[in-house]
Amino acid sequence: MYPYKAHMKKAIERIFEKPARPGMVGDGFRVYNYIPGAGISQQRISPFLLLDFNAAFDFGPSEHIRGVDVHPHKGFETVSIAYKGSVAHHDSAGNSGVIYPGDVQWMTAGGGILHKEYHEQEFSKKGGPFEMVQLWVNLPKKDKSTPAHYQAITKEQMGKIVLPDNAGLVNVIAGAFNGVKGPAETYSPVNLFDIKLEKGGELSTTLPAGYNTALLVINGHVEVNGHSANEHSFVLFKNEGEEIDIKANEESVLLVLSGEPINEPIASYGPFVMNTQQEIVEAIQEFQSGKFGYLE
Ligand code: MN
């Protein structure tokens, strides 16, 4: 008997391989830029604006603390996910914290903030593999000026699904996976899943057809809806069908991102993402006149 299928499988639009060269953000983040650099426009993948992946890299032990010094953001959220190593953060709203493997730092820049991001001091001294993702999530027009704030989410706080047959574990950062909710508060519907699959492990889930949905293979090699996705490849789904079926050919770590598109104009200039060019000009003026606060 064929099982009754209530959902259609999500079609795959394209599987992007890892971009040819990494770029440096400051001197601490050696990142491959998938969104928008690999050719995935901010409108196509809305509400996601940027995805930088620091694929595992050993910076070596250093007394000098590597990272990126004080810089502004306005109009969106920065989401940092640590896989290996640890990252420290300080911002002009008075928040600071360190994230360790499995933790997430969800910073809502909103109306404007200054921050700096560094390798955590002890990790920096010791060295070792460093692996992380930074994702930028847009804010709807009505929320772009919300006061800046910060969610420190530890791996213990994530929604957890232990997959049957020892297939692996899903950590729900935001949204819901098969009914289990994640802790992050978001301004538009966003699903963000940190998935670990054992070799041979399988999972099945559904996400709305209308949500822009993609998957990054952090480690390993998987079959996604029957298509092979290599390590560091980025699977962009079409907005057709709901079901995602994954099978791991080896032990794998995956990041699934899915969100309801924000159908509003995007005016993007470096660390500012607004709706119009005029708002970009204003954001630069606000930054230059010190309205985003002070950070040493
Ligand atoms: Mn930043």
What's the CA-to-centroid distance between 117 and ligand 1, angstroms? 7
Contact predicate 79/106, CB 8 Å:
yes
Cβ neighbours of residue 20 closer than 8 Å, sequence gap 6 or more: none
Asked, for residue 37, whether it belongs to a domain, the answer is yes
Asked, for residue 149, whether it belongs to a domain, the answer is yes
Asked, for residue 2, whether it belongs to a domain, the answer is no
Instruction: Give per-residue pLDDT as tens, 84-141.
Output: 999 999 999 999 999 999 999 999 999 999 999 999 999 999 999 999 999 999 999 9
Q: What is the CATH number of the domain that holds 127?
A: 2.60.120.10
Amino acid, single-letter form, for residue 76:
F
For 15, 103, 244, the CA distances from 229, given in Å and listed in that order, are 7, 25, 13
How many CB atoms within 10 Å of residue 230? 13
Asked, for residue 106, whether it belongs to a domain, the answer is yes
In the chain, how many domains are there? 1
Contact predicate 112/294, CB 8 Å:
no
Look up the domain containing 207 and give its range.
12-288
Asked, for residue 244, whether it belongs to a domain, the answer is yes
What's the CA-to-centroid distance between 72 and ligand 1, angstroms? 7
What's the CA-to-centroid distance between 71 and ligand 1, angstroms? 6
Looking at residue 186, its pLDDT comes to 98
What's the CA-to-centroid distance between 47 and ligand 1, angstroms? 18
Question: Considering only CA atoms, which of 176, 147, 164, 184 is closest in space to residue 256?
Answer: 176
How many CB atoms within 10 Å of residue 202? 17
Instruction: Give per-residue pLDDT as tens, 222-261.
Output: 999 999 999 999 999 999 999 999 999 999 999 999 999 9
Asked, for residue 1, whether it belongs to a domain, the answer is no
Asked, for residue 294, whether it belongs to a domain, the answer is no
Asked, for residue 134, whether it belongs to a domain, the answer is yes
Looking at residue 3, its pLDDT comes to 54
